[in-house]
Amino acid sequence: MELSIDRTSLLNGLALVQGIVERRNTVPILGHVMLEAENGSLNLSATDLEVGVRTALACRSNGGGTITLNARKIFEIVREAGGEEVKLKSLENDWVELRCGRARFMMMGLDPRSFPAMPHKTEAKSDKTVKAEISVAPGLLATMIDKTIFAVSPDEARYNLTGVYIESPAPGSARMVATDGHRLAMIDREVSGFSMQGGVIIPRKGLVELRRLLDRTEEGDVQIQIDNQIAYIKRSSTEVSMRLVEGEFPDYKGVIPKQSRYQIGVERDTLTAAIKRAAIFSNERYHGVKLGLSAATLTVSSTSPEMGEASETIDVDFKGEEFAIGFNATYLLQMLGVVESGSDVVLGLTDEVSPGVITTPSDSQFTYVVMPMRL
Amino acid sequence: MPMNPSRTSANDDAAAGWPRVIAHADMDAFYASVEVLDNPELAGKPVIVGGNSMRGVVTSASYEARRFGVHSAMPTAQAKKLCPDAIFVGGRMSRYAEMSRAVRAVFEQFSPVIEPLSLDEAFLDLTGTQRLLGPPIEVARALKRRVREATGLTVSVGVAPIKMAAKILTDMSKPDGLLVLGPEHVLDFLHPLPVERLWGVGRVTLARLNEAGIRTIGDLARFDPARLRSRFGSFGAHLHELANGRDPRPVIGDWERKSYGEESTFEHDQALDSLELRRVLIAHGEALARRLRADGVRARTITLKLKLARPLGGGRYPLLTRSMSTDSATDDGAAITRIAIQLIERVKTPDKVRLAGVQVHNLERADTRQIRLFDPAALREAGRRSRLNRALDEVTRRFGEDAITRGLAHAERAAPTRRIK
């Protein structure tokens, strides 16, 4: 293989696959990116076996060929290199020569035949295992991911919560739900042509990779294909494929309260600032803050046996019996963080042990349920 | 100089000038004294509490026995040789724990900040109590009196502005002693003492300090700190601070305690797959859970500690630890034990085990709990467990730690040889 390629284009391609390369991989090949040249195009691939990313770049190649290189090192080299063009040439025994400006690197690759296969998409469109095939606007998809992914569980032991659940509650409608067992975020959007039997769980890491693709403004819609085991996404010349999370997503509908006793409207920015201030004194692990309700007043407070107390009042429209409810401040702030600045939120509360429901008039199809904590 | 209460005069009537008032209280020959208390026929006789086996060690000796040179941690065989007429008793951990709770209850009348070091020893932070309770020496006198009234046992007390000095004072005052050291006398008191009196100076460090010509704490205080640092690293700097009477360590009340642990040395070395090893872990897991519940905290991280029966020389053995964190904090003995036993699988060694222990860290207060969205079944199970644990605690409180145990664990035999704070 011998090729030359625009340095910026290669750098962008390598940046795209960095996230997928295992940082502390014990299998060396998983720390590598595969470069395949064919007919004036260079394909970069990386996979951690669960998620695979592949992107095609234009290049000038002299024949085809395949090499693998340490993904982090080649990225650093191309980032630091001068010049506008990078030249790659494969030598004997998986050695690769890289020239850029007046610098020359000799790198040892690995046998490309040991590079693992990506989770691959189902080719035949008529195949019965294909559950859904749709085309989505990138902005819409980005919003759906942003408003749910923060609630995904980081706990590998709760495997079925480590991804975002996607289903079609009605033809032409898409729903994404994420929960870590303490809070739940749910968003609906119209997606014409989308309908699917049952739901699937998309792994968090795959969504992060997919999300990276959505910021590139110059490219078109996103093609998504979902089958029983794989979600396959393509936008322009980049593909992301991922193995779905196996397991049953919990009965999320059962835990969303139908209604709450009190609906308390409050400005998103005011509430966010008050919680951030109170959280300074809250315990490092729980970040517990208390929301106290009394006539026309919402009091955000926290206590720390070591530090002292903090409290702040906000005027609200509340008529009812006084009560106070504790929440993990992080759970509240993460939700408020994805609500548009300047808009209002509505706290749906019932008593100190029932779930709180937070909604916003700025996006009526977005619902957040958060369990209180006893403080 | 330390002041003996009998020689104290009224000029010591306030804690003015004390940055902190720290008391160290240590029960006199605690286990042996409890045995004498429960069996008055033993009074005035040499009493030794400890394992009767050849491998056993003395855990406590009455002052009558100490006169023969017997001390705790001495092999039983040697103690028998030194004091053939001694009365050996097996030791009843649950009874000692009960008396320890009675003593603790007295301590709590004097300070909210109590740092127990073991069943019979604790630091009390008396800073700021003088307005309520009087000058340090009066507080210490009252403490001794009330312990005696409540339990019939004697306690020795040292009071100083720093922890280290308070502990040394207690040791020097024993038995039934009381020594108080004002801040202005700390250095005069510390400097003539042998350097091994400092915390953290063990056999190895002592030899190296002696090599450098350092024999007393005063020698160390005058030693060039830069040279200390180059020889002992940051530990050298730390020792230099201590030698100069600067001991910033506060009394850490047990509600802000960072971990709990229990461990015991086996009478016979155990293979990794032995039932005995599991039995001991169960006993420790249950005991730890009991302590967590008593203190109203839960732990997220469980650590298994093993000392391998492969001598490294100098009485040292390889120490292994394996840890696992759980999704939610627990104070349940079965849960702690299950993890401790699982962790055995992560240990790969052909060696036998000499000591096994369980530690828990990452503590949370039990009254702060995130309520869950799902798993009503798990919630019900947790409710059942916590009711069971409350019942267990009640039985233990009334009938002692060995009154009820899980099937495999036999509490009395797995009584920890050491409780770690």
CB contact under 8 A, B373 and A353: no
> Which residues does chain A have within 8 Å of residue B370's beta carbon, measured at their own beta carbons?
182, 286, 328, 371, 373
CB contact under 8 A, A371 and B368: no
Pick from B104, B125, B122: which is nearest to B113 by CA?
Answer: B125
Place of tokens 């872990």: B281
Nearest CA in chain A to B362: A285
For residues A178 and A91, membership in a common domain is answered with no
For residues A36 and A101, membership in a common domain is answered with yes
**Is A354 among the domain residues?**
yes
CA atoms within 13 A on the CB side of A309: 6
pLDDT 10s per residue in chain A (375 long)?
999 999 999 999 999 888 888 666 667 888 999 999 988 899 999 998 889 999 999 999 888 899 999 999 999 999 998 889 999 999 999 999 999 988 999 999 999 999 988 887 666 555 667 889 999 999 999 999 999 999 998 877 678 999 999 999 999 999 999 999 899 999 999 999 899 999 999 999 999 999 988 987 777 899 999 998 899 999 989 999 999 998 899 999 999 999 999 999 999 999 999 999 999 888 666 688 999 999 999 999 998 766 778 999 999 999 888 999 999 999 999 999 999 999 999 999 998 888 999 999 999 999 999 999 887
| B9 pLDDT higher than 60 | no
Helix (H) or strand (E) holding B150: helix B136-151
Q: What is the pLDDT of residues B120-147, one digit of tens each?
A: 999 999 987 777 788 899 999 999 999 9
Arithmetic mean of pLDDT over chain B: 84
Say yes or no: A286 contacts chain B, CB-CB below 8 A: yes
**Is A285 among the domain residues?**
yes
Those residues with Cβ within 8 angstroms of residue B381's Cβ, 6 or more apart along the chain or in another chain: none
| B321 pLDDT higher than 70 | yes
Strand, coil or helix: B108: helix
Domain boundary among A217, A252, A287: A252
Nearest CA in chain B to A157: B327
**Is A124 among the domain residues?**
no
For residues A268 and A242, membership in a common domain is answered with no
Q: Max alpha carbon distance in chain B (Å)? A: 68
Q: How far apart are CA A16 and CA A3, in angstroms?
A: 20
Q: Which amino acid is at A359?
A: T
CB A207 within 8 A of CB A145: yes
Gyration radius of chain A over CA positions: 25
Q: What is the pLDDT of residue B12?
A: 43
Given phi > 0 = left and psi -120 to 50 = alpha, else beta, which region is B413? alpha
Residue A340 is classified by DSSP as P
Q: What is the pLDDT of residue A137?
A: 94
User: How many Cβ atoms from other residues are within 10 Å of residue A121's Cβ?
Assistant: 16
**B420 strand-pairing partners:** B261
| B116 pLDDT higher than 90 | no
CATH ID of B6-181, from 3.30.1330.10, 3.20.20.30, 3.40.50.720, 3.30.70.270: 3.30.70.270
**Is A125 among the domain residues?**
no
**Is A122 among the domain residues?**
no
| B65 pLDDT higher than 70 | yes
CB A323 within 8 A of CB A352: yes
For residues A241 and A275, membership in a common domain is answered with no
For residues A75 and A161, membership in a common domain is answered with no
Counting residues of chain B whose pLDDT is more than 70, the rounded percentage is 85
Please give the backbone phi and psi of residue A72, each rounded to the nearest 5 degrees, phi first: -70, -40
For residues A174 and A234, membership in a common domain is answered with yes
For residues A325 and A347, membership in a common domain is answered with yes
How close, in Å, is residue B11 to chain A by CA atoms? Answer: 35
**Is A123 among the domain residues?**
no
**Domain B191-243: which CATH class?**
mainly alpha
Alpha helices in chain A (DSSP H): 7-18, 71-80, 138-146, 204-214, 268-279, 329-337
Distances (CA, A) of A325 to A350, B176, B242: 9, 52, 47
In a mutagenesis test of the A interface, which of B113, B325, B365, B371 is the best target, namely the one with the most A β-carbons within 10 Å?
B371
Q: What is the pLDDT of residue A330?
A: 93
Our separate counts of H helices and E strands in chain B read: 15, 14
How close, in Å, is residue A201 to chain B by CA atoms? Answer: 17
For residues A216 and A294, membership in a common domain is answered with no
Q: What is the pLDDT of residues B180-211, one digit of tens each?
A: 999 999 999 999 999 998 887 888 889 889 99
Pick from A43, A34, A37, A36: which is nearest to A63 by CA?
Answer: A37
**Is A375 among the domain residues?**
no
Pick from A1, A14, A100: which is nearest to A57 by CA?
Answer: A14
**Architecture in CATH of B260-399:** 2-Layer Sandwich (3.30)
How close, in Å, is residue A155 to chain B by CA atoms? Answer: 7
Q: How far apart are CA B397 and CA B403, in angstroms?
A: 9
CATH of the domain at A70: 3.10.150.10
CB contact under 8 A, A285 and B374: no
Please compute the mean of the pLDDT values over residues B377-381 and round it to a whole number.
56
Q: Which amino acid is at A232?
A: Y
User: How many Cβ atoms from other residues are within 10 Å of residue B401's Cβ?
Assistant: 23
| B283 pLDDT higher than 60 | yes
Active site residues of B: 121
Q: How confident is the model at residue B386 (pLDDT cuts 50, 70, 90)?
A: confident
For residues A9 and A22, membership in a common domain is answered with yes
Q: How confident is the model at residue B404 (pLDDT cuts 50, 70, 90)?
A: low
Say yes or no: A355 contacts chain B, CB-CB below 8 A: yes
CB B34 within 8 A of CB B153: yes
Q: Domain ranges in chain B?
A: 6-181, 191-243, 260-399
Q: Which range of residues forms the domain containing residue A220?
A: 130-252
